[in-house]
Structure 1
Amino acid sequence: MKFERHHRILKELSISGVVKVSNLAKSLKVTKETIRSDLNELAGQGYLTRCHGGAFITLDSLDNVAKNEIAYVLEKYESAQKIKKGLSAMKNNVCVIGSFNVDIISYLPRLPSTGESLLADKFIFSPGGKGCNQALAASYADSDVHFITKVGSDHFSDYAINFINSSKIHKSVIYQTKETQTGTATIMVNGDTGDNVIAIYPGANMTISPDEITIQKEAIVHSDIVLVQLETNYEALQQTIRLAQKNDIPVIINPAPYNDMVNTIIDNIDYITPNETEAGLLANMAVNDIESAKCAAKIIHQKGVKNTIITLGSKGSLAYDGTQFIYSPAFPAVVKNTAGAGDAFNGALASGLAKGKSLASALCYASAFASLAVETPNASDMPANDSVLHRIQGSHYKQTISTH
């Protein structure tokens, strides 16, 4: 009987990605305690991840032995084809259209007050920009990334081109302009807490044109997901979304740095990923805890967004699809710099969704990825995929799924 139950559980997970204890107990006509025991046993074997009230499957994190065992179990019941296809031929292409900035980072004993000068403890010159950071994150999450950006024709542009071409990013298109300089970001970091303030000069990022986006149509329409931010100009962003939606390619908008114009392009958007501040601006309310995030997520959903994912810093993240909420706590981390946390989360989330993960599973992966990223000194430093999987497997991570 247990073998049959395990088969039913794995089959349901292969279809929906998430199962609930109460639903399984009812359909299998056993007690909830029996189902919890089954889920714990399967989790111990690495087939799934437990969450509050149920479990979700993490196909991409399974080793080859586990994958073969799942396929064998389902094959005995003539239902292996779907899961085997998912295990062996998952999609994995992410197209990132966004900024490249040169990050100029100063580490301070504390953040200065207005008019105050402080001596920095350390200074770093680093590649950055939300587009570049998110492309790097998706690449380190083992996705094939096509990154489209624009820089100036200056010393910083040479640095940008050399860095991108030597990075883990699979493919890139780097436009250049003589009209303005390469984008920069001046970052001050509290060396003790990792808190930061950032001043961004967008420069060449704002000169990428709709025509330059159209030239890259093939990269967009052959991707499994498109990821954009608000550090490029509005018309190019519109064209990117138009091309993706016309070809049924899901789009993630990371609405940062926040601009009210985002309200004109989010209708029918697949995913939006604001932080607490950005969610508050989108919903016209204060967002400072999980309950207020739920209220904001509902308001944002009413604007036409299919999936709203609000990142809550050390409190984790909250997702809403119009029906249910998924609360994903943050993984514990020894924080050195939070400047790249959001970019790490977004790139890893895009990677997970491109691979065909359920939203819950992709959020778990993105949370673990971001927790490792904040343990590094630079916003562009990203963890290896194996390290992320190790952190997930070594934790007792539980998400909460609810309808209210």
Structure 2
Amino acid sequence: MARSLRTTLEPDIVALTIKALRIFSTHANLSNDFERDMTQSFIDLDISREVATRLVANFDTIKPAVRMRILGPLGASDTQIPAGITKGSRTPNALAARSVLRPGLVNELGAQFMFETGAQTHNGILGSAHAIIPQPHALQPLEEQILAPERFTITYQGMHCRDETGLDSVGSDEIYILTSAVHITTDGTNIVRTERHPLTANGSGVYGDVDSDETRIGPVAACWAADVSDFQAGMSLTTVFMEHDQGDPDAYRDEVDAAVKLSIAAATYFFPPGGVLLALIEASGLVTDFFNWLLGTGDDEIGTASVVLGTLSELEDFARTGLGHLFVRRDGKQVDTGLANHFTAAVSGNDYLAAYRVVRQPTAPLKQRIID
């Protein structure tokens, strides 16, 4: 289907990175430090040249006039990379950082969520575009010996559709979800894990016949895991809702995986070293830009959301907090969807939400809320 281009937050970074990807995909000679550094990053991140070639081909299907209008002269396929591109010379884009959702501690000891259909979210919960600030001071641990965490896992729990895609949509939708999680190890290696949901016994499938006000619970599947001993503070999780039409969902999974890795390579090269969290936030802000320009158009991207968990303490707080339930309002009543979660990622104006749980190993008691 036709591509609908959105606002590009970092047009020159996107254009230069795609230039570097084109060189990488064709095994062209490397003529400057930028090309050499980016090519090495692509190799280190395990971006396949086959997928790189496909992404570049997707980019080339966009009319040159459109590419140049938004990306400038670098949007042309045959423009040479300019000299003097300095590593770490860019100031982080505040807008990109603000576009990253920061989930907080929002459901102590099994508190219930409510989602108000057709209105603003309430109680500071579920897919709000506003940051929810963690409040660890509002909780205290039970007074017993607790073993330190050794490993954290995030599991996909299911999805809810408030309003199926498109004002002109006819009938039900076939939906699948791509998750791409990123963390950085203690030796500085970027680890990217991309999964497709729902994950069934026969492999990844689609949710068929998804209607408005419908919830699909599970299949529960891990989408990220890391040992605390080999994990720098901070991880990001990108959620992409797709409507299945004519495309190959597994090919889209590979393209999403490569686009997330491109955002890491770009953030690492263009922005000054500022700690792991900054790299994750900047990468998350760039993800949407690369999806916008590089993904194929056989299936429709409904929307993308990126969540950053910035510290081990945030993972710990989630894991030791009771699961909340997503409630929706139907016919004037609050209805429990049964979708248990620690946090959600919402896209398309909260029309679609994916739910996630944080699991700690070894397990530990839930934290208590302090009563003032």
TM-score range, shorter chain: under 0.3
More strand as a share of residues = 2
For normalisation by structure 2, the TM-score amounts to 0.27
More helix as a share of residues = 1
For normalisation by structure 1, the TM-score amounts to 0.26
